Amino acid sequence: MPKKSAGGTPATVALTRAGVAFTLHEYAHDPRATSYGSEAAQALGLDPDRVFKTLLADVDGNLVVAVVPVAGWLDLKALARALGGRRAAMADPKDAERSTGYVVGGIAPVGQKRRLPTVVDESATAYDVVYVSAGRRGLDLGIAPADLVAVTGAVTADISRS
C-alpha cells in the first residue's frame, strides 16, 4: 500500500497534497558514496534503469530540471532541444541547491522551492513505477511515471545516453 505521510520532506508533502500515490524506500546513505543514484539502486536492490536522478542544468540562461536513469548520462544537447533551447550546461551545484531547497544527492524532482521547466527521460514510461529522490540522501520514492510527469508539469523526451 502506498505510504502517504504529511510529515517528511517537501517532496512527500507536495505529493500528499496533490493526492499522488507513492511509496517510500529508505536506506543507509554512505557519506563516501560518489554516485548517489547508483548507491540508491544498489542499496534498495532495484534495477538501475528504474532509478532516476534529478539533475539541474542551465538552458539558455535558465535553470531547468532533467530526470534521467542513474545508469546513464544526461545528453545536454537533447535537453536543450526538448525545451526549445540552443545551449545547455550543467548548473553549478550551489545554484541547484539554492534553487531547489535540497542538497545535491537528495534533490527531488517534486517539492522544489520554485517550479522549474522539467524534462523526464522517455525511458521512464516503460515502467509502472520509477524511483526518484524523496528529498534527502538515503530516501527514495516510488511513483508512477505518468504521475511524476503530471505533478512536475514535465515533458518527456529522449535525453539520456548509456
What is the side-by-side order of every strand in the sheet holding 130-136? 23-26, 139-143, 130-136
Output the nine-digit C-alpha cell for 28: 543507509
Q: Whose CA is closest to 108, among 71, 53, 29?
A: 53
With contact defined as beta carbons under 8 Å apart, do 63 and 57 qualify? yes
Please state, for a pLDDT cut of 70, what percent of the chain lies above it.
96
**pLDDT surpasses 80 at 2:** no
Whole-angstrom Cα distance, residue 139 to residue 159?
24
**pLDDT surpasses 70 at 112:** yes
Q: Mind giving me the DSSP string for 7-70?
A: SS-HHHHHHHHHT---EEEE----TT-S-HHHHHHHHHT--GGGBEEEEEEEETTEEEEEEEET
How confident is the model over 100-119, as a mean pLDDT? 95
Whole-angstrom Cα distance, residue 53 to residue 96?
13
Q: Which residue has the cell 517539492?
A: 111
Determine the pLDDT at residue 31: 83
Confidence bin at 1 (pLDDT 50/70/90): very low
Q: Which residue has the cell 542513474?
A: 70
Determine the pLDDT at residue 126: 97
With contact defined as beta carbons under 8 Å apart, do 23 and 44 qualify? no
Q: What is the pLDDT of residues 117-132, one digit of tens each?
A: 999 999 999 999 999 9
Q: What is the pLDDT of residues 55-66, one digit of tens each?
A: 999 999 999 999
Determine the pLDDT at residue 13: 96
CATH number of 10-161: 3.90.960.10
Domain layout of the chain by residue ranges: 10-161
With contact defined as beta carbons under 8 Å apart, do 9 and 132 qualify? no
Task: Report strand pairing: 155-157 vs 118-121.
Answer: parallel
Please state, for a pLDDT cut of 90, what percent of the chain lies above it.
86
Q: What is the pLDDT of residues 3-51, one digit of tens each?
A: 444 448 999 999 999 999 999 999 998 888 878 888 898 999 999 999 9
How confident is the model over 73-92, as a mean pLDDT? 97
How confident is the model over 83-101, as a mean pLDDT? 97
Phi, psi angles (nearest 5°) of residue 27? -145, 160
